[in-house]
Amino acid sequence: MSGEAELREQICLLAKSMFARRLTRGSTGNISARTTDGGLLVSPTGTSFGRLDPGRLSRFDAAGRLLDGDPPTKEMPLHTAFYDTRPQTGAVVHLHSSHSVAWSMMPDVDPENALPPLTPYSIMQLGRVKLLPFFVPGDPAMGEAVRRLAGQRSAVLLANHGPIVAGEDLESAGNAIEELEYTAELAMLTLGHPTKPLSEDQVRSVVEAFDIDWDG
């Protein structure tokens, strides 16, 4: 199997796994990955993560031209914003996962640091998560909002919409967005209950131990 053929299969396998575990539903969510020639493979618009066809993924060249496959997701501006501002990005995943969406609607969420420091793992895999305001789905302004972050965040949470995460490869992007959803679930489960999140000193110790870009 060639490198691109294998990447196509990996995209569909990850998407199907997320669909099976109810991290997406219907035709929600989208996923992309960088090819070895600098192009992109992207999930098509209106498709279900549970039924992606490797041969019908949208294929872009390095200049951003659609070469073949079905029309891409309408959230392309979100994806390209991460690739253009974070050169280390090899894959981007966007979900409408329930707990993340629910947490994005809580009135006291800090837009600059949207996830509470409940475990070290969200810090390790996500850094600080930026909460962006609501945009109409497909609005190019979402991509512009990500570009204004100047590559300083690998994960954002769109209010009333869902998370989007960039990783060095498919596996890391998938793991990170699942950690974001899990942390949001913990936050919702503990909402209104007395909890002991990590202290500022404990957060700093994790940041230093794992060389996390935290202060940007």
**Which domains occur in the chain, in start order?**
1-73 (3.40.225.10), 75-216 (3.40.225.10)
**What are 43-64's pLDDT values in tens digits?**
999 999 999 999 999 999 999 9
Per-residue pLDDT of 10-36, as tens digits, reads 999 999 999 999 999 999 999 999 999
Q: Per residue in 133-146, pLDDT tens?
A: 999 999 999 999 99
Q: Which residues are catalytic?
A: 75, 121
Two structure tokens written together for 155: 């994960």
DSSP, residue by residue, the chain: --HHHHHHHHHHHHHHHHHHTTSS-TT--EEEEE-TTS-EEEPBTT--GGG--GGGSEEE-TTS-EEESSPBPTTHHHHHHHHHH-TT--EEEE---HHHHHHHT-TT--TTS-S---SHHHHHHH-SPEEE----TT-THHHHHHHTTTT--SEEEETTTEEEEEESSHHHHHHHHHHHHHHHHHHHHHTTS---PPPHHHHHHHHHHTT-----
Span 74-95, mean pLDDT? 97
> What's this model's pTM, rounded to 2 decimal places?
0.96
133 vs 215, more confident: 133
- pLDDT classification of 2: cutoffs 50, 70, 90: low
Alpha carbons 50 and 27: distance in angstroms, whole number: 9
pLDDT of residue 1: 47
